[in-house]
Structure formats: structure tokens, C-alpha cells
A and B are shown apart, each in its own frame.
Chain A
């Protein structure tokens, strides 16, 4: 029988448990968190499986640094360049924030491709995870669009002319192309309208889409579970000959977890 807890200790435990219970009773969030943290994953998940959360981390870095940049950046052709110069040269640690946002974008894209390669090589897009693959492809497209719209914002020569070419390329598409190009450009030439549009898309529209899709993506990951590495001898879901029940001497000597059918 466990030793009786001192009254003091009991009180302390109650004090800690109270806000947690309060929150749980009213929201069920604690139970959700417990489920998320303590849910079982295949015993053989490996470093390969960290590429998805690495991508998520890069995305979070982009969000945080992006919010800071938005506090100082001015989406106006007359002021944009100067505000970027200010952030880089004068603002305390502005160069770090801008540098992390700029290079984080490349890291984010690279990690997305690596994560996709891992999913492909593991055959993890197969039943029942088809939908999550499709959401992933949409994330890839949105991620690259985010890169395209962000490229114009510093309003330097590279930014401007790469966007001129980019918009013109859109214009070559049949049917919708010219409309798309006109929509992106916003006016007769690349200027105020264009910059506002790119800013709105880069800050609100595309990140909003990314947030929603990432949420859905992670929901499906938790609901369906991540797949085992297919080459692992422990791979979950693999067909295997059941080891004979205990107590009855088997004719075949079973391996530690039974042999495999194939």
C-alpha cells in the first residue's frame, strides 16, 4: 500500500491539477494533447520521418520573420526599396530577420522536395494516404507561388525584371493567360498596383491557404498514422506468419516476431 501523502503535498497537487482540469472540463484540449503526444507510432520510425516536421519548422520561421518584416516594410514603389535598405542596414538585427526570411524560403522549398522524395521512396502515398499526397502537392505549388510573389517585394532590379518576365510568361498561356497576367499586373505597367497585389497575396492569400492545408495535412497524418519504412524487418502492416500460440510446441521455430509470408 502506498504511503499516505502528506496533506501539504496533496494540496500542492490539487493546485497544479486545478487549472488543467478546468481547461479539460471546458474544452477537452488536454485530452487532445495527451492523445497527440501519447499516440503510438510505428516502432521503426526513423530520421527520415523528421523531414515533414523540419518543413513545418522552416514554415514557422518564415511566419515569425515575415511578421517582423511586415512591421517595417512599405509596399509602395517609392518606399519599398528604402524600407528594405532600412531593415538591412539600420534596424537592430533587421539583417538577421530579413536574412533568415530570405534564406529560410530556399530551405523551406528544399525541405518540401526532400520530404516529398521520402514519401515517394517509402511508397507512403498509397492507400489510405492518397489524399494527403494530393494536399502535399498543393502545398508544394503554394510554396513556390509564395516564393514568386515574395521575390518582387524588395523592389530592386532583379526583383523587378524577374517579375516582368514572370508576368509575361503567364500571359503566354492559352485562354486564361492574358487575364492572369493582367490580374497580376493590376495596371498598365508594373508599379503600384502590382506591388500591392503581390504584397496582399504574399502576406494573406497564400499563407492563409498554406495554414489551412498544413492543418489538414497534419490532421490526416495523426488520423492515419505514419507509415513504417518498407524495408524494415519490423514494418508495421507487413503480412507475416503468426507465431504458433504459446504452450503448443510448433513444428517451425518462430523468429522473435514470427517469419514473413514473402
Chain B
């Protein structure tokens, strides 16, 4: 152990001597490279901003090459879109799809990222060999390739994962009405349900995605909890001990009642 430490110290002394004898001054040599690179970075960032602005302005409806300048204003009530984090969180986003609620989702949100972080932090203490040449570090090569490939795959999958869009779910409403034999007064609620973000977390007759441990709602009406219960629940789930579902107070009383009627009428396909 101490022999290894001595060797490392010796190597570092040798490094310092070599640099002193044969190195070159930071200015102007390395600084030249750094300056060129910095100019490239600033230009690339400015170019991205320009492309973003120009392409998004050309066709205001379609998003430009780099996306819209800004989306619609946040509206806690009616939403029908996909919650998307920034691209560097896609891998995490997709991990959640691999680990399903409730037994293993903690592995996805906490477990895997924590282990990865611990490994990163511990790397200099795991790899104690002095060898720096890549071809003589087979474990490092394999680990690097595995990391890059898995992060790439997860990011790609996260980018292309299709959650059901509210607008698409609306098309399924007539089918719901038929299969569930919904009464007419439940149809308005069905449409609202499809347009709001409910299906981002809940599954209804095969539409939507199971997220955050949200239960399937296809047969929720069979519990006979009543319209009023659902109305209050959806308005403020926190009151019922549900911290994961956002409050939908913003939908307004009328809409909440309609959703309540719809949920109460959903008693499973006949």
C-alpha cells in the first residue's frame, strides 16, 4: 500500500520535473488554443440562438428547427400536452418507464441515479492503478462504452417515448361511450378527461400511461363513491392524502362536476 503511494508520489515528482524542463509556458501556447476554442463556443451558442429565432419566426404555427420561441402560457387546469423535461433529463424520464410503480420505481428515481453518482464520485478510489494509457485499461474502456451506449439509448428512448396526447385521446371518446355504455350526461366529462392531463398518469380503457403509481380508472365508478367524492378528489387530491396528483381546482366547478359524473359512470366495459 505505502509502496504504491511512494510510486505515485515519485511519478508526480517526475511529472513536475519534466514539465519544468521541457514544458512550454501557458501564455501564449495553451492560451492560444483556449482562446480559439472559446470563440468557437460563443459563436456556436449565438448561431443556435439565431437559427432558433429565424426558423421559428418563418412558420409561426409549426415549431422551428429548434422548437417554438415560447409555448402557451402555463395553465394548471386544462392541459393536453406531453410533459417533457429538457433533453439531458430524458434518460431519467425513460428510466421511470422501465421501473414500474410501485415496487421498483424508487430504483428508477433514486436507486440507479444514486448508484451512478456514487460510482462517479468513487472512481479515483476504485481505480488505483497508475496506468493511464487507454489500451492498457480494458475495464475502463468497457465501462466507458457501456455508459455511453446506455445513456444514449435511454436518452433516445426518452426523446421518442410517446405518451398519449390529449388531442388523440379525444378521438377515443366515442369508443369509450360505446364500450362503457356511458349515459349522455357523462360525455362532456369524458371529453374533459381526455383533454386534461389525466391520461399522462392514469390508464383508461387502454389509453394513457401508468405513471407515479396512478391507478387505472376504467372501473373507478364501480367503487360507488359518488359524483361528489370524485369532484372534490380531483379538485384537491392532497386533501385525500394524495401528494402525487396535482390539484385541478383550476378547471372550475362545472367542469369538475362533469368529470365526477364521467368517473362515477365508468363501471368497466360491459
Q: Which residues of A contact B (CB under 8 A)?
A: 36-43, 45-47, 49-51, 53-54, 56-58, 61, 77, 81, 84-85, 88-89, 95-96, 98-100, 102-107, 109, 111, 117, 120-130, 133-134, 137, 141, 144, 147-148, 151, 154-162, 164-166, 168-174, 177-178, 181, 188-191, 225, 227-228, 230-231, 234, 236-239, 257
Contact = CB atoms under 8 A, between A and B. Distances in A.
B195 to A, nearest CB: 13
20 contacts: A41-B26, A50-B33, A50-B36, A61-B45, A99-B50, A100-B49, A137-B121, A144-B89, A151-B85, A154-B70, A155-B74, A162-B84, A168-B246, A172-B212, A173-B106, A174-B106, A189-B76, A230-B134, A237-B15, A239-B14
Given A61-B42, A99-B48, A230-B132, A172 B109 contact: yes
Contacts of B229: none
A107 B49 CA distance: 12
Nearest to B213: A172
B146 interface: no
Given A151-B85, A236-B19, A103 B134 contact: no
B18 interface: yes
Interface of B: 8, 11-12, 14-16, 18-20, 22-27, 29-31, 33-34, 36-38, 40-42, 44-46, 48-50, 52-53, 66, 69-76, 79, 81, 83-89, 92, 96, 105-106, 109-110, 117, 120-121, 123-125, 127-134, 137, 140, 144, 197, 200, 211-212, 236, 238, 243-244, 246-247, 249
Nearest to A140: B120
Contacts of B73: 81, 155-157
A172 B105 contact: yes
Contact of A39 (B25, B71, B109): B25
Contact of B26 (A39, A95, A134): A39
Given A81-B73, A189-B246, 19 more contacts: A42-B22, A47-B37, A58-B41, A102-B49, A102-B52, A123-B137, A126-B124, A126-B130, A127-B124, A130-B125, A156-B72, A161-B81, A165-B212, A168-B212, A173-B109, A189-B76, A236-B22, A238-B14, A257-B22
A37 B27 contact: yes
A95 B132 contact: no
Contacts of B89: 144, 147-148, 166
A168 B242 CA distance: 11
Contacts of A57: 37-38, 41-42
Given A38-B25, A49-B30, A137 B120 contact: yes
A88, A161, A174 — which one has the most chain B CB atoms within 10 A of its CB? A161
Closest 6 CB pairs of A and B: A99-B49, A237-B15, A123-B132, A160-B74, A40-B23, A130-B124
A141 B16 CA distance: 32
A40 B45 contact: no
Contact of B86 (A141, A147, A165, A188): A147
A37 B31 contact: yes
Contact of B23 (A148, A177, A190, A236): A236
A128 B12 contact: yes
A137 B117 CA distance: 8
Contacts of B25: 37-41
Contacts of B197: 161
B132 A127 contact: no
Contact of B88 (A38, A144, A162, A191): A144
Given A85-B70, A109-B88, A172-B105, A96 B81 contact: no
Contacts of B38: 53-54, 56-57
B24, B44, B45 — which one has the most chain A CB atoms within 10 A of its CB? B45
A157 B75 contact: yes
B246 A190 contact: yes
B72 A100 contact: no
Contacts of B137: 123
A164 B243 CA distance: 11
A190 B37 CA distance: 41
B238 A169 contact: no
B74 A126 contact: no
A188 B243 CA distance: 9
Contacts of A151: 85-86
Contacts of A156: 70-74
